[in-house]
Structure 1
Amino acid sequence: MEQQKLTDVVFKLSIDLGTQLEGSPELDGLDIPLINMRILRFLYEEETATPLAVAGTINRDRGHVTRLLQELSANGLIALKPNPQDGRSKLAMLTAKARTIFSRVHAAEARLYDRATQDVDKQELITFFKVAQKISSNLSGG
């Protein structure tokens, strides 16, 4: 496979997934950018996190993440509380409002997964995930 083809395929897949997810009927009326959705998902899975932990997970600088967290807080989707282990930082956590959103997100993702993997057998999917993980690891240096 040509070097350029890898980037073409990965970019197209990323755009297609984002477009399908944003346009899903389950998420109709939600106006949450995908980067914010990544933060909310991380907090959904971790329950609480510092801005530094969020930044490391979504591969953005801490200043950018801090601004995104403040925006999410202003929209009532997260709460920022003092970090009891480090008075210089905050802990971010989902609000009840954000938690209710995830039933819709899970439904949209399940439908998207079913559509994306139709005509893909189990072994092909396992191979895809292994290869994608290796490529991601190579690119992130680990």
Structure 2
Amino acid sequence: MFKAINIEATFHLAHAIKQQLNNQLDIQNLGISPMHVRVLKIIGEIPGSTAMDIAALFKRDKAQITRLVNHLIDQELITKKPNPNDKRSQFLELTATGAVLQGKLKALSDKMESRMIEGIKEEDLEIFSQVAQQMKNNLIDRF
């Protein structure tokens, strides 16, 4: 039987996480959005990332990712390097400033996660992760 409460609970959790991240980014006056944070994280964690890679990973329009990337370039947080294997694409890399910011964002994320899981048993968190992954897989595999 379908229970809309499951979907609503998921939406509320996702919204609360995004809202808290927005609040923290505003408090620290970083001038970036949660989507910028996600792009910076990918660029820092996956060497040789391109805008097309990020668009595919996030299942977003390339134009939207290009706007995000250009904003990060304007803020001198990332830079483009030529891709020797494909003259049409460029690798994205963190600048020194971007790497420092990524460290701050990691600390912020760790603090948010610690706060979010307060009072929840480790085994419950493991079950939650497994269930959330299965739900995601069910949607991906069937739609």
The verdict on a shared fold, with TM-score over 0.5 as the criterion, is yes
Contact 1:54–1:65 (CA under 8 A) maintained in structure 2: yes
- Contact 2:79-2:95 at 8 Å conserved across structures: yes
1:81 aligns with 81
Residue type matched to 2:34 in 1?
L
**Does the Cα contact within 8 Å between 2:55 and 2:62 map onto a contact in 1?**
yes
State whether structure 2 residue 90 is matched by structure 1 residue 90: yes
Aligned positions, number: 142
Give the match for residue 58 of structure 1.
58
Match of 1:45 in 2: 45
Amino acid at match of 2:114: D
- Quote the residue 1:7 is aligned against: 7
- Assess if the C-alpha contact under 8 Å between 2:48 and 2:92 holds in 1: yes
Structure 1 residue 27 displacement after superposition: 6.0
TM-score w.r.t. length of structure 1: 0.89
C-alpha separation in 1, matches of 2:44 and 2:66: 18
**Contact 2:40 / 2:102 at 8 angstroms: preserved in 1?**
no
Query: Aligned ranges for residues 20-39 of structure 1 at < 5 Å?
Result: 20-24=20-24, 28-39=28-39
| TM-score for the superposition, normalised by structure 2 | 0.88
Identity of aligned residues (%): 27
Distance 1:65 1:25, change over 3 A: closer
Runs of 4+ aligned residues of structure 1 deviating over 4 Å after TM superposition are none
Instruction: Kindly report the root-mean-square deviation, in angstroms, between the aligned alpha carbons of the 2 structures.
Output: 2.0
**Alpha-carbon offset, residue 127 of structure 1:** 0.5
Q: Residue 137 of structure 1 corresponds to which residue in structure 2?
A: 137
CA distance in 2, matches of 1:27, 1:139: 35
Indicate the structure whose relative CO is greater, using CA pairs within 8 Å and at least 6 residues apart.
1
The secondary structure found in structure 2 opposite 1:88 is: coil
Q: Distance in 1 between matches of 2:3 and 2:59?
A: 24
Q: Which amino acid aligns with 1:54?
A: I
Change in 2 beyond 3 A, CA 1:40/1:25: closer
SS in 2 for 1:24: helix
1:26 CA drift (Å): 9.9
Of 89-98 and 17-26, more deviation after overlay is shown by: 17-26
Aligned counterpart, 1:106: 106
